[in-house]
Structure 1
Amino acid sequence: MTAPMSLLQHMRATLVLGLPLIGGHLAQFAIQLTDTVMLGWYSVEALAAVTLAGSYFITFFLFGAGFAWAVMPMVATFAAKGDQTGVRRATRMGLWLSLLYSALAMPAFWWAEEILLALGQTDAVAGLAADYLRVAGWGIFPALIVMVLKSYLAALERTRIILWVTLAAAVMNVFGNYVLIFGNFGLPPLGAVGAAWASIITHTTALAGAAAYAVIARPEHQLFVRFWRADWEMFFKVFRMGGPIGITTLSEVSLFAGSTVLMGWLGTIPLAAHGIAIQLGTATFMVHLGLSNAATVRAGQAQGRDDGLGLRRGATGVLILSLVVSLITIAVFLSIPEQLLGLFLEPDNPNRPQILAIGVGLVTIAALFQLVDGAQVVALGLLRGLHDTTVPMVMAAVGYWVVGLPASYILGFVAGLGGIGVWLGLVSGLATAAVLLLWRFWGRAVGQVGAAVPV
Structure 2
Amino acid sequence: MRESQHHPFRAELGATLRLAGPLALANMLQMAVFAIDVIFVARLGQESLAASSLAVAIVAVVMMGLNGVTGAVAPLIAAEIGRRRNSIREVRRSVRMALWLALALGVGAVGVCFLGETIMLATGQDPHVVALSGSFIRVVSLALVPMAVANVLRTFVSALGRPVFATMITALAILVNALGNYALVFGNFGAPALGLNGSATASVITACVTVLAYILAIRGDRQLRRFHIFGRWWRPEWNRLRQMLGLGLPISATLIAEGGLFSGAAFLMGRVGETELAAHTVALQIAAFAFQVPYGIGQAATIRVGYHYGAGNKSAIGHAGWAAIVIGLAFVGVSALAMLLFPKAIISAYVDVSAPENAAMVILAMQYLFIAAVFQLTDGLQAVVAGALRGIQDTRIPAVIAVLGYWAAGFATSVALGLFTPLRGVGVWIGLAVGLTVAAILLLARWHWRGRFRLVPESVVQPVSAPVIHAVIA
TM-score by length of 1: 0.91
Name 2:106's counterpart in structure 1. 102
Q: Aligned pair in 2 of structure 1 residues 137, 346: CA closer, same or farther (>3 Å)?
A: closer
Q: Does the aligned pair in 1 maintain the 2:97–2:240 contact within 8 Å?
A: yes
2:409 to 383, 390, 403: 403
Q: Does the aligned pair in 2 maintain the 1:139–1:203 contact within 8 Å?
A: yes
- TM-aligned CA deviation for residue 176 of structure 1: 1.5
Give me the whole-angstrom Cα distance separating, in 1, the residues matched to 2:414 and 2:201.
38
User: How does 1:23-172 map onto structure 2 within 5 Å?
Assistant: 23-42=25-44, 46-82=48-84, 83-110=87-114, 112-113=116-117, 116-117=120-121, 120=124, 124-172=128-176
Q: Does the aligned pair in 2 maintain the 1:273–1:359 contact within 8 Å?
A: yes
Give me the whole-angstrom Cα distance separating, in 2, the residues matched to 1:15 and 1:127.
45
Give me the whole-angstrom Cα distance separating, in 1, the residues matched to 2:399 and 2:376.
21
Deviates more, 1:395-404 or 1:76-85: 76-85
1:449 equivalent in alignment to 2:451: no
Tell me the amino acid that sits aligned with residue 442 of structure 1. Answer: H
Name 2:465's counterpart in structure 1. none
- TM-aligned CA deviation for residue 270 of structure 1: 4.4
- TM-aligned CA deviation for residue 272 of structure 1: 4.2
- TM-aligned CA deviation for residue 357 of structure 1: 4.7
Q: Does the aligned pair in 1 maintain the 2:392–2:455 contact within 8 Å?
A: no
Q: Aligned pair in 2 of structure 1 residues 78, 259: CA closer, same or farther (>3 Å)?
A: same
1:179 equivalent in alignment to 2:169: no
Question: Secondary structure at 2:43's aligned position in 1?
Answer: helix
Q: Does the aligned pair in 1 maintain the 2:16–2:324 contact within 8 Å?
A: yes
Give me the whole-angstrom Cα distance separating, in 1, the residues matched to 2:112 and 2:96.
26
- TM-aligned CA deviation for residue 441 of structure 1: 1.7
Q: Aligned pair in 2 of structure 1 residues 362, 182: CA closer, same or farther (>3 Å)?
A: closer
Name 2:261's counterpart in structure 1. 255
Q: Does the aligned pair in 2 maintain the 1:308–1:445 contact within 8 Å?
A: no
Q: Aligned pair in 2 of structure 1 residues 314, 445: CA closer, same or farther (>3 Å)?
A: farther
Q: Aligned pair in 2 of structure 1 residues 375, 452: CA closer, same or farther (>3 Å)?
A: farther
Q: Does the aligned pair in 2 maintain the 1:311–1:445 contact within 8 Å?
A: no
Deviates more, 1:428-437 or 1:260-269: 260-269
- TM-aligned CA deviation for residue 103 of structure 1: 2.3
- TM-aligned CA deviation for residue 50 of structure 1: 3.2
Q: Aligned pair in 2 of structure 1 residues 342, 27: CA closer, same or farther (>3 Å)?
A: closer
- TM-aligned CA deviation for residue 137 of structure 1: 2.8
Deviates more, 1:289-298 or 1:414-423: 414-423
Give me the whole-angstrom Cα distance separating, in 2, the residues matched to 1:142 and 1:307.
36
Give me the whole-angstrom Cα distance separating, in 2, the residues matched to 1:125 and 1:296.
40
Tell me the amino acid that sits aligned with residue 280 of structure 2. Answer: H
Q: Aligned pair in 2 of structure 1 residues 196, 117: CA closer, same or farther (>3 Å)?
A: same
Give me the whole-angstrom Cα distance separating, in 2, the residues matched to 1:414 and 1:88.
53
Q: Aligned pair in 2 of structure 1 residues 276, 75: CA closer, same or farther (>3 Å)?
A: same
User: How does 1:323-402 map onto structure 2 within 5 Å?
Assistant: 323-350=329-356, 354-355=360-361, 357-402=363-408
Q: Does the aligned pair in 1 maintain the 2:266–2:277 contact within 8 Å?
A: yes
Give me the whole-angstrom Cα distance separating, in 1, the residues matched to 2:218 and 2:79.
18
Name 1:275's counterpart in structure 2. 281
Name 2:248's counterpart in structure 1. 242
1:13 equivalent in alignment to 2:15: yes
Give me the whole-angstrom Cα distance separating, in 1, the residues matched to 2:136 and 2:249.
28
Name 2:471's counterpart in structure 1. none
Summarize deviations over 1:51-99 as a string: whole Å, max 9, x none: 3332232232221111221111111111122222211111110111111
TM-score by length of 2: 0.87
Give me the whole-angstrom Cα distance separating, in 2, the residues matched to 1:421 and 1:251.
19
Name 2:194's counterpart in structure 1. 190
Question: Secondary structure at 1:188's aligned position in 2?
Answer: coil
Q: Aligned pair in 2 of structure 1 residues 327, 452: CA closer, same or farther (>3 Å)?
A: farther
Question: Secondary structure at 1:427's aligned position in 2?
Answer: helix
Give me the whole-angstrom Cα distance separating, in 1, the residues matched to 2:418 and 2:344.
23
Deviates more, 1:108-117 or 1:310-319: 108-117
Q: Give the gaps of 5 or more residues in structure 1.
A: none
Give me the whole-angstrom Cα distance separating, in 2, the residues matched to 1:15 and 1:111.
42
- TM-aligned CA deviation for residue 23 of structure 1: 1.0
Q: Aligned pair in 2 of structure 1 residues 346, 193: CA closer, same or farther (>3 Å)?
A: closer
Q: Does the aligned pair in 1 maintain the 2:184–2:191 contact within 8 Å?
A: yes
Q: Aligned pair in 2 of structure 1 residues 146, 402: CA closer, same or farther (>3 Å)?
A: same
Question: Secondary structure at 1:221's aligned position in 2?
Answer: coil
- TM-aligned CA deviation for residue 340 of structure 1: 2.9
Q: Does the aligned pair in 2 maintain the 1:5–1:310 contact within 8 Å?
A: no
Give me the whole-angstrom Cα distance separating, in 2, the residues matched to 1:131 and 1:352.
26
Give me the whole-angstrom Cα distance separating, in 1, the residues matched to 2:286 and 2:190.
37
Tell me the amino acid that sits aligned with residue 71 of structure 2. Answer: W
Q: Aligned pair in 2 of structure 1 residues 445, 176: CA closer, same or farther (>3 Å)?
A: farther
Question: Secondary structure at 1:228's aligned position in 2?
Answer: coil
Name 2:428's counterpart in structure 1. 422
- TM-aligned CA deviation for residue 330 of structure 1: 2.6
- TM-aligned CA deviation for residue 196 of structure 1: 2.8
What root-mean-square deviation, in Å, do the aligned CA atoms of Structure 1 and Structure 2 show? 2.7
Tell me the amino acid that sits aligned with residue 316 of structure 2. Answer: G
Summarize deviations over 1:176-230 as a string: whole Å, max 9, x none: 2222222233332222333233222211111011122223322222111111011
Deviates more, 1:116-125 or 1:196-205: 116-125
User: How does 1:315-326 map onto structure 2 within 5 Å?
Assistant: 315-326=321-332
- TM-aligned CA deviation for residue 101 of structure 1: 0.7
Name 1:312's counterpart in structure 2. 318
Tell me the amino acid that sits aligned with residue 242 of structure 1. Answer: G
Tell me the amino acid that sits aligned with residue 389 of structure 1. Answer: T
- TM-aligned CA deviation for residue 309 of structure 1: 1.2
Q: Does the aligned pair in 1 maintain the 2:50–2:274 contact within 8 Å?
A: no
1:301 equivalent in alignment to 2:303: no
Q: Does the aligned pair in 2 maintain the 1:78–1:86 contact within 8 Å?
A: yes
1:215 to 219, 229, 250: 219
Tell me the amino acid that sits aligned with residue 164 of structure 1. Answer: M
Q: Does the aligned pair in 2 maintain the 1:408–1:426 contact within 8 Å?
A: yes
Tell me the amino acid that sits aligned with residue 77 of structure 2. Answer: V
Give me the whole-angstrom Cα distance separating, in 1, the residues matched to 2:25 and 2:345.
24
Q: Aligned pair in 2 of structure 1 residues 369, 441: CA closer, same or farther (>3 Å)?
A: same
- TM-aligned CA deviation for residue 145 of structure 1: 0.4
Summarize deviations over 1:284-340 as a string: whole Å, max 9, x none: 101111111111110111101111111111211111111111221232222223333
Give me the whole-angstrom Cα distance separating, in 1, the residues matched to 2:299 and 2:108.
27
Give me the whole-angstrom Cα distance separating, in 2, the residues matched to 1:352 and 1:186.
31
